[in-house]
Amino acid sequence: MGALYLQLIRWNRPAGWLLLLWPTLSALWVASHGFPGWHLISVFTLGTFLMRSAGCCVNDVADREFDRHVKRTAQRPVTTGALSVKQALALGAVLVLLAFGLVLTTNAAAIAWSFAALAVTLAYPYAKRYVSMPQAVLGVAFSFGIPMAFAAVQSRVPPVAWVLLLGNLFWVIAYDTEYAMVDRDDDLLIGMKTSAITLGRFDVAGVMLSYLIFISIWAFALDGRAQSAIFSIAIGLALLQALWHGWLIRKRERDGCFKAFRLNHWLGFTVFAGIVLSYWGQ
């Protein structure tokens, strides 16, 4: 039973929660103008893992009828019946409560914003039925650690936080479109809406444009904050990684698209490392 719960929360696939972690920690460093302290690092690292795991529980319950028709997801424990809907939702509720317990150790502003973060997390699995670009909804959900980080440090959410959230949203669109390209044939058959389907033959171009918008917005927003040549180097390395991902997905083959998706956390880490080192250099 324990193995099934670990499978449910994608324990063996850390790339998923790392995609949430790096922009969140980046925001912590920017909000703190440097090292934010071990307490906030611990809260947001554990909270990110818990909320991503809870999101997997909700997503698998919402998509259980669709997932059985998709090659990549057909063996998920809720889809196969190995875990019941009640068991999955119960685990998700426990994970959310644990994450909320962590938020309670911060401040009133972060606590207030956590409810908005939860609402978006719960809404995303159902967006795939009604929104032609559900990746944009996921982008908001996966970026909400940014305003929460600023709220936890500064007790407010300044404009730069929303600019960073906007930029990060385009990164999510980029990598989740790569992810959607893996399942496009199956999704077309079952009537699921994804950015890969909506963009059609412009999917690769859409991914690359989204990468460019993300990196440009973050470079612009942090100009004068992360004051170091190291940050510029990190931005350059992130661009090179984006170009590599473009090469991987150019033929729209499942393996190449999935590999590009899985490698995205290194792009996020590169930007995060550039921010950390630039503040350390000051």
Domains in the chain, CATH or no CATH each: 2-281 (1.10.357.140)
Give the DSSP per-residue string, the chain.
-HHHHHHHTTTT-THHHHHHHHHHHHHHHHHHTS---HHHHHHHHHHHHHHHHHHHHHHHHHTHHHHTTSTTTTT-HHHHTSS-HHHHHHHHHHHHHHHHHHHTTS-HHHHHHHHHHHHHHHHHHHHHHH-S-HHHHHHHHHHTHHHHHHHHHHSS--HHHHHHHHHHHHHHHHHHHHHHHHSHHHHHHHT---HHHHHGGGHHHHHHHHHHHHHHHHHHHTTTTS-SHHHHHHHHHHHHHHHHHHHHHTT--HHHHHHHHHHHHHHHHHHHHHHHHHHHH-
What's the N-to-C CA distance of the chain in angstroms?
50
Q: Is the CB of residue 173 less than 8 Å from the CB of residue 202?
A: no
Cα–Cα distance measured from residue 137 to residue 123, given in angstroms and rounded to the nearest whole number: 8
The one-letter amino acid code at 136 reads A
The per-residue pLDDT for range 215-242, each reduced to its tens digit, is: 999 999 998 877 778 999 999 999 999 9
- pLDDT, residue 35, reads 95
Q: Output the six-digit token pair for 208.
A: 């690359």
The residue-averaged pLDDT of 187-201 equals 85
Cα–Cα distance measured from residue 210 to residue 260, given in angstroms and rounded to the nearest whole number: 14
The per-residue pLDDT for range 257-274, each reduced to its tens digit, is: 999 999 999 999 999 999
Cα–Cα distance measured from residue 238 to residue 235, given in angstroms and rounded to the nearest whole number: 5
Between 279 and 1, the higher pLDDT residue:
279
- pLDDT, residue 281, reads 59
Q: Is the CB of residue 76 less than 8 Å from the CB of residue 13?
A: no
Cα–Cα distance measured from residue 9 to residue 250, given in angstroms and rounded to the nearest whole number: 31
Q: Output the six-digit token pair for 126.
A: 């159902």
For 21, residues 6+ apart whose C-beta sits below 8 A from its C-beta are 44, 45, 48, 49, 145, 268
**252 φ, ψ (degrees, to nearest 5):** 60, 30
Task: Read off the pLDDT band of 282 (50, 70, 90).
Answer: low
Among the residue ranges 53-67, 205-219, 259-273, the one predicted with the least confidence is: 53-67
Between 86 and 15, the higher pLDDT residue:
86
The per-residue pLDDT for range 145-175, each reduced to its tens digit, is: 999 999 999 999 999 999 999 999 999 999 9
The per-residue pLDDT for range 107-141, each reduced to its tens digit, is: 999 999 999 999 988 888 887 777 788 888 888 98
